[in-house]
Structure 1
Amino acid sequence: MRHFDVNDDERYREPPDPAQRDFTTVSGEPVKEVYTEDDLERVGFDPERDLGRPGEYPFTRGIHKNLYRGKLWTMRMFSGFGSAEETNARFRYLLDHGETGLSIAFDLPTLYGRDTDDPMAEGEFGKCGVAVSSLADMEILLDGIPLDQITTSMTINGPAAAIWAMYIATAEKRGIPRAKLGGTLQNDILKEFTAQNEYIFPPEPSMSLVTDTIEFASREMPKWNSISVSGYHIREAGATATEELAFTIADGMAYVDAALARGLDIDEFAPRISFFFNCHNDFFEEIAKFRAARRIWARLMREHYGAKNPRSWWMRFHTQTAGCSLTAQEPENNIIRTTIQALAAVLGGTQSLHTNSLDEALALPSDWAVRIALRTQQIIAYESGVANSVDPLAGSYLVETMTSEMEQRVQAILDEIAEMGGVLAAIENGYFQRRIADSAYRYEQAIAERRKIVIGVNALRNEEPADIPLLTMDPEGEERQRQRLARVRRERDQDEWRASLDALEQAARAGENLMPHLLRAVRAYATLGEITNCLKAVYGEYRPVAVV
């Protein structure tokens, strides 16, 4: 979440000048005064080829013929802070208030594969998510949650396979077969190298680990999405809507190529690939992005990869409203921003949605703030009427033109990446990083120069400080976690613990699928840090090249 930094200027307290309005999208693309059938002809729009009906190829209008009339989107609030006990209480609170799917946020040490008592984790316990260092933490985190009745999304990447193994082991200890588990593992390591920087191992072994999970899920966990290809963090880093979509689809293609190279059949794993997008402030640009995304992916899967199963052509995605659009100034304004963004996601046909809380530019969400965010989704679903019809904006000159323009711009970027030799080559030469940095700079400049208006920041600015209650975490949580970690190390079967890590290292050196070995290690209560260090001994650590 970002606190916009603009200098103290008297103009910022005044209303923006209507004569100086900027008629471009958030991404800087020009928006015409009026759109007509001439614009559709200009972009080569063909209703029969490009539109179709809901539930029919190329799925511009949605992957389901009845969409929300059949089933509402999953209301999945991204949650996690402090200790496993605190986050478990938040899960129960949200479920009691109508949440329909879990989404787990992990703290920074966990995201980097480090234990809570690692010296490098000092000062970061529970600050951006929940701390999970061993199976013992995961068991507490999921205590009382009906894992065979609710789906769970986990935002974890570098150590994703090990954290997933803990989730599976927790369920199986409770007698729930892995085949009955439903949910999503983010597991998108490529966007870490381009945007979020929470990587551990170099790209090639990282891709091998992702492919292990794809293979394991396709054969043993038919209800689980083993990867959620994420554009969200790419957009949060400063990419435009077009870049977010293009880079995400390029990453998706890289994962498909890796699974095919492993020997999997396209229709064996493609139906369980999912995506994760940002929804920013520009209402129609975001709707066009979602519609273009489905069309591009469907055509790639059917025409480029030759998938035969129609479910392989579907782009299923989760959406989160734009954290980077939230402001610390006048945080109550964030409720309105989030509502507009959520409405765009729904009209764009998302399958799952998280709405940000008003206080997230100041702290992790409090109970009352997250309840307002959840209620935003529920009011859209049950009071607004927008869920009554599938793709109600279809046929709009503006929306169809924007959708086709988005598709064409994305294709041009995909062609550039292909000419470089693919995603890994583009990462190594800094292509993604440079483009994102340039786009982020242009957007910040537009705000600083008041070409883009952010209410309460560079216009109509109120100097009175916000008076809202912020989340406070249990001051004893970290010490409780450290004691539990010490007890795990002391009481586990030392022989099985050592043997499980030795087997994991040998399997990594032999190039075997690591999921069975990771399951054995977490059941032996090997900690996340111990597992990560075991794999570092084989794979090494990634050191990024300087990008200029």
Structure 2
Amino acid sequence: GYHMQEAGATADLELAYTLADGVEYIRTGIEAGLDPEAFVPRLSFFFAIGMPYLVEVAKLRAARWLWAKLLRGHFGLTSPKALMLRTHCQTSGWSLAARDVYNNVIRTLVEASAAVGGQTQSLHTNALDEALGLPTDYSARIARNTQLHLMGEAKAAHVIDPWGGSAAVEQLTRDLIIRAEEHIAEVDGLGGMAKAIDTGLPKQRIEEAATRAQAEIESGRQKLIGVNIFQPELAEGAEEVEILRIDNASVLDQQKTKLANLKRDRDDRAVETALRQLSDAAMGSRNLLEASVEAARAGATVGEMSDAMERVFNRHVAEIRGVTGVWRESVGEIALLKERIEAFEEREGRPPRILVAKIGQDGHDRGQKVVSSAFADSGFEVVIGPLFQTPEEAASLAVEKAVDVIGLSSLAAGHLTQVPELKAALKAAGGDEVEVVVGGIIPPGDIPVLESHGVAAVFPSGTMISEAALDLMDILGKRRNRA
């Protein structure tokens, strides 16, 4: 469930799709010959906890009630041990702001308190600086102490269902159950969660919700302290807190050295045998985890094991579809932006064209999808790149689609390595004229480094999309003047 809320799901969508996933796992286990009374108690869930305090408390209460109902109704389970929902929770990463970051301590406390009030069994609290980069020891200590205060000094975890009987929470719980049951029925009507995912329905629902939520912030209807109200005044490039700095090039070199040493010292024949057995297991009914463990013990790398299974299963290629209409409906048209796009279209004979790209192992695509939807509704032609592209693949796609600009979404601290590689790949592919901009979790100290590599603009977390779009039109206008 956590990744669903982080991707934009509302509480009812997260609740419904998470439990529908659980039902799909049980069906698969039964088809494999497992006894549900034996393995269902070993299932656990993972929910995100956002800022709407009472809604999040109600969500966890609704999850317990609904899970027991689904197990009784779908599978006839009755034992209390099987019917009990076990869950881990994590405070929201999306709610963290890059500006006025000490507000994030309060946000995390509110969310952690809601998780405890909803009776989570375990909890992860995010650090105050995670909208800027990886947490420092200082910020991680504050995150840990948030839990210690709730558990030890506040004794918030010592009461069973502390919100039970509250008129507001009971009503919210009932409302969430009703809405979640409607979503679950829709999924069941498609044949279960796996088949629903194949249709793209859950993805579409979540992306629509994410776009709507960002539009609420852009329009000012959703107030965020330090983001769109009560904004602090900081000197350009100033850092509110110390940022943990990682030498990406050094880490990459170390990893390459470790892999080289591993491949030098291992028994290649044993590795080949283990990988062949893994492929055989994928074709048959043998447990894949067992075969993977044996391959790892023989010295096979994760990439080699993935390749061994991919030869049998092939690699899933998700259908990329943008959400249209939601942004325009919520925000409306911005006159100045519309004017500049129309001027560009009159001059070039087409709208401005942007590739919104994800490079490397960064699988966080909420920002990519919301930006793509907003830009498309604003009049841009948008190409949405697939996840996990290499710089060369992104450059090739940009040249193939004749885009004016690549917007690189970076949420996993890879931009200092990826941008130089992308620029080099563009040059090699004949795409020197393509502008590159970067958005996402960008520490202030990284901005001048990115600019030195030829990045035309950097849009850190919290940048309003409409402002970024206007800046892009300025960049494209300057490029024309240079030509």
CA RMSD of aligned residues (A): 1.3
The aligned counterpart of 2:379 is none
Q: After the TM superposition, which residues 113-262 of structure 1 pair with which residues of structure 2 at under 5 Å, given as runs?
A: 231-262=1-32
- Runs of 4+ more than 4 Å apart: none
Q: Is the 8 A contact 1:331 1:466 kept in 2?
A: no
Q: Distance between the aligned counterparts of 1:310 and 1:540, measured in 2?
A: 41
Q: Distance between the aligned counterparts of 1:296 and 1:287, measured in 2?
A: 14
Q: Given the alignment of the two structures, is residue 504 of structure 1 paired with residue 278 of structure 2, yes or no?
A: yes
Q: CA deviation at 1:434?
A: 1.3
The aligned counterpart of 2:82 is 312
Per-residue Cα deviation, 1:356-390 (whole angstroms, up to 9, x for no partner): 10000000111110010000110111111322322
Q: Is the 8 A contact 1:358 1:369 kept in 2?
A: yes
Q: Is the 8 A contact 2:58 2:172 kept in 1?
A: yes
Q: TM-score, normalised by structure 1?
A: 0.57
- Aligned match of 1:467 in 240, 244, 266? 240
Specify the structure having the higher radius of gyration (Cα): 2
Q: TM-score, normalised by structure 2?
A: 0.64
- Aligned match of 2:37 in 257, 261, 267? 267
- Secondary structure of the 1:363 match is coil
The aligned counterpart of 1:81 is none
Q: Is the 8 A contact 2:119 2:157 kept in 1?
A: no
- Aligned match of 1:516 in 287, 290, 298? 290
Q: Distance between the aligned counterparts of 2:289 and 2:226, measured in 1?
A: 49
Q: CA deviation at 1:546?
A: 3.5
- Aligned match of 2:304 in 530, 533, 539? 530
* Count of residue pairs the alignment pairs up: 318
Q: Is the 8 A contact 1:433 1:547 kept in 2?
A: no
The aligned counterpart of 1:492 is 266
Q: Distance between the aligned counterparts of 2:74 and 2:278, measured in 1?
A: 36
User: 1:300 corresponds to which letter in structure 2?
Assistant: L
Q: Distance between the aligned counterparts of 2:126 and 2:30, measured in 1?
A: 37
Q: Distance between the aligned counterparts of 1:446 and 1:513, measured in 2?
A: 47
Q: As a proportion of its length, which structure holds more helix?
A: 2
Q: Given the alignment of the two structures, is residue 420 of structure 1 paired with residue 190 of structure 2, yes or no?
A: yes
Q: Given the alignment of the two structures, is residue 330 of structure 1 paired with residue 100 of structure 2, yes or no?
A: yes
Q: Given the alignment of the two structures, is residue 543 of structure 1 paired with residue 317 of structure 2, yes or no?
A: yes
Shifted more, 459-468 versus 398-407: the winner is 459-468
Q: Is the 8 A contact 2:217 2:228 kept in 1?
A: yes
Q: Is the 8 A contact 1:298 1:315 kept in 2?
A: yes
Q: What fraction of aligned residue pairs are identical, expressed as a percent?
A: 40
Q: CA deviation at 1:308?
A: 3.6
Q: Given the alignment of the two structures, is residue 446 of structure 1 paired with residue 220 of structure 2, yes or no?
A: no
Per-residue Cα deviation, 1:66-85 (whole angstroms, up to 9, x for no partner): xxxxxxxxxxxxxxxxxxxx
Shifted more, 312-321 versus 444-453: the winner is 444-453
The aligned counterpart of 1:353 is 123
Q: Distance between the aligned counterparts of 1:270 and 1:388, measured in 2?
A: 27
Q: Distance between the aligned counterparts of 2:27 and 2:41, measured in 1?
A: 15
Q: CA deviation at 1:305?
A: 0.9
- Aligned match of 1:436 in 199, 206, 227? 206
Shifted more, 522-531 versus 377-386: the winner is 377-386
The aligned counterpart of 2:136 is 366
Q: CA deviation at 1:397?
A: 0.6
Larger relative contact order (Cα-Cα within 8 Å, sequence gap ≥ 6):
1
Q: Distance between the aligned counterparts of 1:479 and 1:345, measured in 2?
A: 40
Q: CA deviation at 1:433?
A: 1.5
Q: Distance between the aligned counterparts of 1:515 and 1:235, measured in 2?
A: 28
Q: Distance between the aligned counterparts of 2:155 and 2:303, measured in 1?
A: 49
The aligned counterpart of 1:55 is none
Q: CA deviation at 1:304?
A: 2.3
Per-residue Cα deviation, 1:50-89 (whole angstroms, up to 9, x for no partner): xxxxxxxxxxxxxxxxxxxxxxxxxxxxxxxxxxxxxxxx
- Secondary structure of the 2:123 match is strand
